[in-house]
Amino acid sequence: MNDEMTWAGRRVVVTGGAGFLGRVVCDKLRERGAAEVLVPRRAEYDLTTEDAARRLYADMKPDVVLHLAAEVGGIGANRENPGRFFYANMAMALHLIEHARRVGLDKFVQVGTICAYPNHTPVPFKEEDLWNGYPEVTNAPYGIAKKSAMVMLDGYRQQYGLKSAYVLPVNLYGPHDNFDLESSHVIPALIRKCIEAQERGDSHIECWGTGSASREFLYVDDAAEGILRAAEVMDEPLPINLGTCMEITIKDLVELIVKLTGFEGDIRWDSSKPDGQPRRCLDTSRAERLLGWKAQVGFEDGLKRTIEWYRNVASRHQGIKAGG
């Protein structure tokens, strides 16, 4: 751990700052007294091009860059776009880090992905295992591009003295998540499925797989706090897991969301559909030791907040449709 960086008087660029995680990070930066929080939009700054990265530094003159932006999708999207996902994520990091060096940036923070872990990583995932095998094949181009950014940052620290931090958040959830049934992750998809089934009076909901796979989930506010703590206290891109150390099977997750939404129908499992990676759970002792960070929002509490937010948004949309 190094001398703690303060935000007062600093200009901070947050790539992906308009997204699900980014908006929380930006709010917390303002609360911490950052002088300016700047969010580049893709229409103006396509960061997969070097010219856009160069213009970003020239126009925004940041002291700190928090690089949250990514091109990412589920299994289907990864299968369809392995080349694009590698190129886009590698190119963004490549250009942003190189131009950070050129302008003498105070600090660069890269948000990685647990897709970078080897397919058969022992549970709980420890940062020391990051290089002990090849990632799950459908996620590999995306995961390796993100991991390559960590290697680049370490090289730039050694050669140019660029200060940086690197964090690996587990699956996130919370208000403002993506609730599109075609592209959303498991928690928002289940919340929407239960609430809509409840409103229609359906007798059951259908879920993929057997429910035996396990996952770990981190509330978005906790993730944002972990990213800012890494920015404040880390000067080198040591990989740091951000998670809760709490594993839950998909079966138990579905039953909990059914209970919290009040859906009273049956749960039917389609075992012809895949379960995905059998287990996913992080060891977060490094984050606690180096950042003084630990997840604060309990899982049930976080789910209740997310369900309440979605109900409010869904009812507003229905009101707009009815009024229109």
Q: Where are the beta strands (DSSP E) in the chain?
A: 11-15, 36-38, 64-67, 107-111, 164-169, 171-173, 204-208, 214-215, 217-219, 239-242, 248-249, 266-270
Query: Of 237, 85, 65, whose CA–CA distance to 167 is shortest?
Result: 237
The answer to which of 35-49, 114-128, 163-177, 179-193 has the lowest mean pLDDT is: 179-193
Question: What's the DSSP call for residue 283?
Answer: -
Domain boundaries, the chain: 11-173+217-242, 186-214+247-280+298-319
Contact 60, 38 (CB under 8 A): yes
Asked if the model's pLDDT at residue 185 lies above 90, the reply is: no
Handedness of CA 250, 252, 254, 257 (dihedral sign): negative
Name the one residue in this structure whose structure tokens are 């010219």.
Answer: 51
Please provide the DSSP assignment of 235-251 as one string: -S--EEEES-S--EEHH
Question: What's the DSSP call for residue 115?
Answer: G
As given in the structure block, the two tokens for residue 90 are: 């590698």
Contact 201, 143 (CB under 8 A): no
Where b means 16+ CB within 10 Å and e means fewer, 105-126 reads bbbbbbbbbbbbbbeebeebbb
| CATH code for the structural domain at 186-214+247-280+298-319 | 3.90.25.10
Asked if the model's pLDDT at residue 322 lies above 80, the reply is: no
Residues pairing with 65 in the sheet? 13, 108
Please provide the DSSP assignment of 72-95 as one string: ---HHHHHH-HHHHHHHHHHHHHH
Asked if the model's pLDDT at residue 324 lies above 50, the reply is: no
User: Higher pLDDT residue, 81 or 191?
Assistant: 191
Determine the pLDDT at residue 23: 97
Query: Of 190, 193, 182, 149, whose CA–CA distance to 168 is shortest?
Result: 149
Asked if the model's pLDDT at residue 299 lies above 90, the reply is: yes
Handedness of CA 208, 211, 212, 215 (dihedral sign): positive
Determine the pLDDT at residue 278: 79
As given in the structure block, the two tokens for residue 318 are: 């229905």
310 catalytic? Reply is no
Mean pLDDT of 271-295: 91
Residue of 45, 57, 117, 142 marked catalytic: 142
Which pLDDT band, with edges at 50, 70 and 90, does 275 fall under?
Answer: confident
Asked if the model's pLDDT at residue 277 lies above 90, the reply is: no
Mean pLDDT of 56-66: 98
Percent of the chain's residues with pLDDT above 90: 84
Given the candidates 3.40.50.720, 2.60.40.1840, 3.40.50.360, 1.20.1260.10, the CATH classification of the domain at 11-173+217-242 is 3.40.50.720
Tens of pLDDT along 209-227? Answer: 899 989 999 999 999 999 9
Longest dimension (CA), the chain: 63
Contact 156, 101 (CB under 8 A): yes
Q: Give CA–CA dist 260/245, Å, rounded.
A: 22
Determine the pLDDT at residue 317: 67
Give the strands of the sheet with 11-15, arranged side by side: 36-38, 11-15, 64-67, 107-111, 164-169, 239-242
Angstrom CA distances, 203 to 24, 92, 194, stand at: 37, 47, 11
Q: Give CA–CA dist 88/79, Å, rounded.
A: 15
Q: Give CA–CA dist 14/23, Å, rounded.
A: 9
Asked if the model's pLDDT at residue 34 lies above 60, the reply is: yes
